[in-house]
Structure 1
Amino acid sequence: MQQRLHKVNKIYALQLATIFVGFIIFGFSENIKGPAIPRIQFDFMLNESQLGTLLSLNALGYLLACSFTGFLTRLWGIKVVTVAAFALMILSGGLIYVSHSYPMFSSSYFLMYIGNGMLEIALAILGARIFVRNTGTMMNLSHGFYGLSSTVAPLIATGLMSVSVFGHMLDWRGMYFVVLSMSIVPIIFALSAKFPGDDLPQEERTPLKTLMRDPVLWFMVLILTFGVVSELAVGGWLVNFLEKAYAWDTVSASSMLSAFFLCFALARLLLGPATDRMGFTLSLILFSGFSAVCTFAAILGGEGLAFLFAASGIGIAMIYPTVMAFIAKRYPNGSDTAITFTVTMMGLGSVIGNYLIGIITEVVKNLYGSGTETGLRYGLQAGYGFIGLCAAVCAGFSFVLYRFLKRRKELI
């Protein structure tokens, strides 16, 4: 009995290591782009609209990966898919390093986001299968590791870009290669672990058609879409905003982005139990509403209230893991399918969201004078204001869902 218990504990430890380290790598790959984007923009001479288009196309790669990862999981098993996702990220890092033309760079970046999309689904499915108790707490804890790596990602990126190896500066290309190569660590854990759920008979799985008839799943799609657009857009636009609107240097702007992710990580690590106690839907209302208020106050209050950009991370951090916990509890035999569908639809929203931020910024900038400091500042404020609007809409849909579930006595 003791030997069997030791074996079970070892398997669970490897499962946790795969998920936790996986989220650390995921956080790095998603959020090292903040300090790199101004340099990418300069090297390839992109305006804000073209930059928004680049990020949208990458979100499209993320969307494509989300759409087929669920199928690959049923075909190959979650272990193979997880390893493949990490391997694809290592490959994309190598291709980014050797890319010196815009077509090759955009293709390599696109490939990285396919790896990210596969990893997003794989880690969400693993969490839904493994965290059967205290689901909200464990989902937020695992996603907290994403927040921890995201906290230091901008500073690590800034530091690595200035490192010289054999007389050659890494710059942003070398930085991407070094960071993405770290994916070898979770590959080792995944290859050593066993994961549950692949042996579940097909007839016991809830089909997609049944899930799509549930209006609650569509609310989850809307809530997750607007919440994640608000979350991910910060990593791509905050450093750019602070450098151009307030003339902050790269280190200061990157530090503010790191502060955002510190708030983000601490919220997930410490506030997870609150979602289990308050209920998932009420938590979504309160946390997304808090993020919206902080973002709007930071924009309207000017440079003096810029710290509220960081504080908004406390609220927006809770959206994704809370939605995953909700899905795992509501659809115990269909969580794989529900997660794949929800995240795929969310990816479509991310494509549109990043594109709109770039367009709004460019339109307002031109309206107030594209070559003036005032026009640039108003354009950036308007574009970033859309991030706050997404958080507010997320809170609105969460409130409607709360009323809907309360009437049907189905609150979780």
Structure 2
Amino acid sequence: MSAAPLSFAATRRACHVSYIVQAIVNNIAPLLFIVFHTRFSIPVEQLGGLAALNFGVQLLTDLAAMKLVDRVGYRRPMLLAHVMAVLGLALLAVLPTLLPSAFAGLAVAVVVYAIGGGLLEVLVSPIVEHLPSPQEGKATAMALLHSFYCWGQLAVVVVTTVLLGVFGQGLWSLAPLLWAVVPLANLFVLLRVPLPDTVPDEHRTPVRTLLGRPVFLFALVAMMTGGAAELTMSQWSSFFAEQGAGVSKAMGDLLGPGLFALLMGIGRFSYGVWGQRLALEKLLVGSSLGAALCYVIAAWAAVPVVSLLACAGCGLFVSLLWPGTFSLTSARFPLGGGAMFALLALAGDSGGTFGPWLAGILASLTSGPLAWLSDRLPPDGDSGLRAALLLSAAVPLVFGLAVLQMRRDPVGAAVTQ
């Protein structure tokens, strides 16, 4: 094998690790919420504000990175992303005890590593997309890349839980410090591996042109609904398992977000290895129908284990919605550049932020306008979540409709017009 493929193989591996880094910064703080609540007396609503702050900063970073990436190239923003991740995780371990307000210390740490997470969201996918590889293999490479977020999420849950169990909550700060080793090590790798060039200004498809094409607008709709379909079930599955299905908190975490993430990772990894011969558009439409069916079964099934399996199975069906939309869009706009991926990431993160929030609003309405619907569903501990999940089944269906609209603009048409 020649030197160049080996070098770009190292680049690809560094990108895989970068998505593990993003999983670390998105999932480490929620796993420590119980520690922050008991040791620092931080109210639950403020802890929820930390999660919102993380994704809000990532959204702003997506927006700010639109023009930055194409101007300065990939390497410096990638290095900055890892520096911010290392710094933010270190601050998470020390600031709550150094500052007069523990919450302020946590908020500062979250802002710092969220900037790193937002940059990674914008950078990693276009780097892998622009690595030398056959066109027919790019969609599978994208799915394989995104599977590493799932593996990272599982690793963070398992390893952090073990650390807290072995060392106790008094040494909770060891967890973020140990996880900071991952972005620190990858930082030194990224100093040496080759990275592809960004699309030159004279060749890059302008943002105004992208936003003027209906196929790209449908891609934004697909990203938004794909993110919402994934994050709504992922974030509410643990609560639903405990309140709606009546299982313990530990079992709810295992059968909810844990099994969901495992099946989502298996779906992405399987397509990344064996999916080259499959028609991506048809697979995405079928996946959207499967995800909608899982939402309906989770809401309607009176047997708790059936509802929980539907929640977990949804992870398999939503696994390709996000990376698949990236691949469909980049195939139609190969010269879209970093700004295009930033817009797609912005849409996906928006859906991931507002989807779970909307589900919570729908659940609260079951004590009022939606009481008639909740009364027709199996009991859910008066949480209203069964009705919310049933109505949320419309989200993946909208995704499928958006993909069908994208099929009307075949690959090549968007490039030449």
Deviations 1:214-241 (A, max 9, x none): 1111111111111112223344332233
SS of 2:202's partner is helix
User: Partner residue of 1:18?
Assistant: 14
Instruction: Indicate which of 376, 385, 388 corresponds to 1:380.
Output: 385
Identity across matched positions, percent: 19
Which residue number in structure 2 is paired with residue 139 of structure 1?
142
Q: Which of structures 1 and 2 has the larger relative contact order (alpha carbons within 8 angstroms, sep 6+)? A: 1
AA aligned opposite 1:209: R
- Map 1:221-370 to 2 at 5 A: 221-256=220-255, 257-272=257-272, 276-302=276-302, 303-305=304-306, 306-364=308-366
Q: Within 2, Cα distance between the matches of 1:226 and 1:280?
A: 17
1:66 equivalenced with 2:62 (yes/no):
yes
Distance 1:150 1:204, change over 3 A: same
- Report the counterpart of residue 130 of structure 2 in structure 1: 129
Does residue 392 of structure 1 match 2:393? no
Q: Secondary structure at the match of 2:191?
A: helix
Q: Structure 2: how far apart are the matches of 1:366 and 1:178?
A: 47
Determine which of 83, 88, 98 is the counterpart of 1:92.
88
Give the length in aligned residue pairs: 395
Q: CA deviation at 1:338?
A: 1.6
* Cα distance in 2, alignment partners of residues 54 and 376 from structure 1: 27
**Alignment check: 8 A CA contact 1:140 1:318 kept:** yes
Relative to structure 1, the CA distance from residue 26 to residue 57 in structure 2 (aligned partners, 3 Å threshold; closer, same or farther) is closer
Q: Which residue of 2 aligns with 1:371?
A: none
State the TM-score, normalizing by the size of structure 2: 0.83
| 1:213 alignment partner in structure 2 | 212
Aligned to 1:201: 200
SS for the counterpart of 2:400 is: helix
Instruction: Flag structure 1 segments of 5+ consecutive residues without an equivalent.
Output: 369-373
Judged with a 3 Å threshold, the aligned counterparts in structure 2 of structure 1 residues 336 and 60 are, in CA distance, closer, same or farther, namely same
Q: CA deviation at 1:322?
A: 0.9
8 Å Cα contact 2:228-2:354 kept in structure 1: no
Find the aligned partners of 1:397 and 1:41 in 2 and give their Cα distance: 42
Query: Could you report, residue by residue, the CA deviation over 1:288-343 in whole angstroms, capped at 9, with x for unpaired residues?
Result: 22112112212321412112211111110101111111122111122422211222
User: How far apart, in 2, do the equivalents of 1:124 and 1:254 lie?
Assistant: 29
Quote the residue 1:161 is aligned against: 164
**Contact 1:34–1:254 (CA<8 Å) still a contact in 2?**
no
Query: Are the counterparts in 2 of residues 55 and 355 from structure 1 also a CA contact under 8 Å?
Result: no
Amino acid at match of 1:268: R
Q: Alpha-carbon deviation of 1:22? A: 1.3
Q: 1:54 to 1:169 in 2, by over 3 A?
A: closer
RMSD (Å) for aligned C-alpha atoms = 3.1
Match of 1:78 among 74, 80, 98: 74
What secondary structure does 1:80 align onto? helix
User: Structure 1 stretch 354-363 or stretch 85-94: which is displaced more?
Assistant: 354-363
1:204 match: secondary structure = coil
Return the alpha-carbon distance in structure 2 between the equivalents of residues 40 and 354 of structure 1: 23
Contact 2:223 2:351 (C-alpha < 8 Å) held by counterparts: no
For residue 182 of structure 1, give the secondary structure of its aligned residue in structure 2. Answer: helix
Tell me the SS of whatever aligns to 2:334: coil
How far does residue 39 in structure 1 lie from its aligned partner after superposition? Answer: 5.8
Counterpart CA distance in 2 for 1:292 and 1:210 is 33
CA 1:361–1:39: 2 relative to 1, 3 Å: farther
Mapped partners of 1:56, 1:208: distance in 2: 28
Q: CA deviation at 1:38?
A: 5.8
Provide the C-alpha distance between the structure 2 equivalents of 1:381 and 1:151, rounded to a whole number of angstroms.
26
CA contact (8 A) 2:70 2:338 kept: no
Counterpart-to-counterpart distance in 1, 2:263 and 2:216: 29
Equivalent pair of 2:78/2:119 in contact (CA under 8 Å): yes
- How far off its partner does 1:35 sit? 4.3
Structure 1 residues 351, 186: CA separation in 2 closer, same or farther (over 3 Å shift)?
Answer: same
Tell me how far 1:51 sits from its aligned partner: 6.4
Q: Partners in 2 of 1:135 and 1:363 — Cα distance?
A: 43
Q: Tell me what 1:405 maps to.
A: 409
Task: Report the TM-score when normalising by structure 1.
Answer: 0.84
The answer as to whether partners of 1:82 and 1:118 remain within 8 angstroms in 2 is yes
1:183 alignment partner AA:
P
Specify the SS of the correspondent of 1:226.
helix
- The alpha-carbon deviation at position 401 of structure 1 amounts to 3.2
Unaligned runs of 5+ in 2: 372-378
